[in-house]
Amino acid sequence: MVLPLGDLQPTRITPFVTYALIAINVVMYVVQVDRGEDFKFALAATPWEITHNRDIDEPIVNPQQAVRVQDPRDPFGERIPANAPPDVIPHAPCPIPIWLTLFTSMFLHGSPMHLAGNMLYLWIVGDNVEEVLGEVRYLIVYLACGLAGSLLQIAAAPNSMIPTLGASGAIAGIMGAYVVWFPHNQIRVLVFRFITVLPAVVVIGGWIVLQIYLGSQAFGKMGESGGVAYLAHVGGAATGILVALLFYNRAQYIKAMDAHLQGWQTSPYQGY
């Protein structure tokens, strides 16, 4: 087991957007717990709903069930065969246009551990990426990576009726940008019972390669059961890497400036 604990590369900014994103995700999870499962699954992104622009507004209990769906053009709805796995798939009426669930799903999580893991990675890499991009661009890139991840997952299984949720795609994009810009940054990690440091290219690059491998292994079974949406990770990371290449020169300038200021602060001489 390898668990990242933090990077050793300070920034010159206070990463307000990163802190705000973490806070919003935590608050949304508290709301989820308070409102119950219907709230969570109403705002999750379901591939079938996105590709058909219809809302499945009741749980699917078995493959033969005819589920009720809501069409924005037909307020009375209709019933269609679920054609789904033989497991109960939770659904609830969505109070917003279905396409908006591509964004609301980014701020939902399935469990405390799901939330904690995602927020840990965002806290580690977010400040450095925010420093390079600036607050507005950083927020746009975060949302774009999450959207790209969801769309890739949906493209692989457009008729899946299994809801998807989580910030992993967005955070994978931030991680992708980080590893391109800061491959040699040292990250403190817990390896089994020992704490050590490893370069970002090993910790984050290795994680991205693992997601690609696991995604390729699961590709033929996409949409058949729940679990980890590996292609959402891959799509988000790929988008983040593309952004990193577009802003590579800016990142190098920021790194040089940081190195210069850190060198001045640690100089044995006193300037005046």
What does the alpha-carbon distance between residue 32 and residue 12 come to, in Å, rounded to a whole number?
A: 35
Q: Which candidate in 150, 160, 168, 225 is catalytic?
A: 168
Token reading at 214: 């696991």
Q: What is the DSSP string of 129-189?
A: HHHHH-HHHHHHHHHHHHHHHHHHHHHHSTT----B--SHHHHHHHHHHHHHH-TT-EEEE
Amino acid at 19: Y
| Eight-state DSSP code of residue 18 | H
Known catalytic membership, residue 150: no
Ramachandran region of residue 6, left (φ > 0), alpha (ψ -120 to 50) or beta? left
Distinct helix (H) and strand (E) counts, the chain: 10, 6
> Of these residues, 184, 216, 233, 267, which one is catalytic?
233
Three-state secondary-structure class, residue 79: strand
Q: How far apart are CA 154 and CA 167, in angstroms?
A: 15
> Is 91 among the residues known to form the active site?
no
The full 3-state SS of 26-43, as one line of letters, equals: HHHHHHHHHHCHHHHHHH
Q: Which residues are catalytic?
A: 168, 233
